[in-house]
Amino acid sequence: MDWIDNFTSEDFIIKAGLTAAVVIFYLVLERFLKHKAEEKRESLFRRLYAAVIRPVQAFFFISVVYTVIQQFGLNTDDYPWIHKGYTILMILSVAWLGINLLRFASEQLLRRFDISTEDNLRARTVYTQVRVMRRIVTSIIIILAIAAALMTFEEIRSLGVSLLASAGVAGIVIGFAAQKTIGNFFTGLQIAITQPIRIDDSVVVEGEWGWIEEINLTYVVVKIWDLRRLILPISYFVEHPFQNWTRTSASIIGDVTLYLDYTMPIDELRAELDRILENNHLWNGNVKVVQVIDTKETTIVVRVLVSAKNAPTAWDLRCDVREKLIHYIQKNHADKLPRMRGELQVDNETKDKAA
């Protein structure tokens, strides 16, 4: 066979030597870069190396194998599956590299923002935009890679030409079949731009209070306060009303409602609230209000407003203030708790009998 005769040819020896030299150079370079990356912990170079090394290894391995096959003298025209397989694997490797570089770039951008701080509105905005857009671009890269790989098959390419010839009918059919997917895609894009919700927003949805944990292309994960997860379609947040407690700021006002007797001295209640909040680390120092907001037949309705840095802290602060105010009233004004009043009337006949 011709390819066996090539083993003894001078041309084959030269090509094999060059191929071996390239492989050795690559292995030495990779080891050198790996050593440098390990030396620089938490460095930009180390993160970049970790992001690109696997797809680059796949790209190089595929190229070397294809080159070696050609060195044997095999005509890829006689074995079309070799060239087709090489093309498909190269397309997938490039797509893999593109996705990893996209993830690396987005993570580098997000490292500049700390979502754990108290005033994290800007960070939550950027996190939401970057993560949603990254998922959209990743989906586009995957679709393009699959389409390019499929187009290497003549049958698929012919089908594509046929579909283009009847683009009107095909567009209608595809539109009806994928309307949900397309709708979710544009809904995700709309949320990334207008941002009715952001990552780590405090929301009340479907009667449940929690935080936005994930925003994906088709659904949103809400982490409920008791650690359950509420999964909602992403379209829910543009089609239904919901409460967003951190739309403009993480700071929030909590309320405590008390039902007391009409004789309760409100000024003393205000003074007690001042003492409660004076050394309370849960209170952010912005709002403290005691108001009589309503009157009932037997009680007055007192509302206490206090502010905190975020929703979870506000909940703890409300519970603490409620408990201490009730303890204060029980200890100092027990007679001011709600009570029923009655009036005893005695008629004249009863008075005469008593006399």
- Return the pLDDT at 274: 92
Is residue 44, in this structure, part of any structural domain at all? yes
**What residue numbers bound the domain in which 267 lies?**
252-336
Q: Is residue 172 one of the residues assigned to a domain?
A: no
Task: Say what the pLDDT of residue 83 is.
Answer: 75
CATH number for the domain that contains residue 309: 3.30.70.100
Q: 10 Å Cβ neighbour count for 14?
A: 10
- Answer yes or no: is 132 within a domain: no
* pLDDT the model gives residue 325: 94
Query: What pLDDT score was predicted for residue 163?
Result: 47
Inside any domain, residue 281:
yes
- Long-range interactions of 333-342: CB distance < 8 A, separation 24+: 333/264, 333/265, 333/268, 335/261, 335/263, 336/260, 336/261, 336/263, 336/264, 336/265, 337/260, 337/261, 338/259, 338/260, 338/261, 338/298, 338/299, 339/261, 339/298, 340/298, 341/298
Residue 155, burial from CB neighbour count under 10 angstroms (0-12, 13-18, 19+): exposed
Total of domains in the chain: 2
| Domain boundary pick from 65, 94, 112 | 112
Residue where a domain terminates, one of 112, 139, 160: 112
Report pLDDT for 328.
Answer: 93
Q: Residues of the chain whose pLDDT is less than 70?
A: 1-22, 25-26, 29, 32-33, 35-42, 70-80, 118-119, 155-182, 341-342, 344-355
Whether 133 is in a domain gets the answer: no
Give me the pLDDT at residue 205, please: 92
User: How far lies 240's CA from each of 6, 233, 256, in Å?
Assistant: 72, 11, 29
Q: For the chain, first and last CA: distance in Å?
A: 140
What phi, psi does 244 have (nearest 5°)?
Answer: -120, 105
75 in a structural domain: yes
Do the domain assignments include residue 228? no
Cβ neighbours around 169 below 10 Å, total: 10
The answer as to whether 185 is a domain residue is no
The answer to whether 115 touches 199, Cβ cutoff 8 Å, is: yes
| Rounded Cα gap, residues 132 and 191, in angstroms | 8
The pLDDT value recorded for residue 108 is: 86
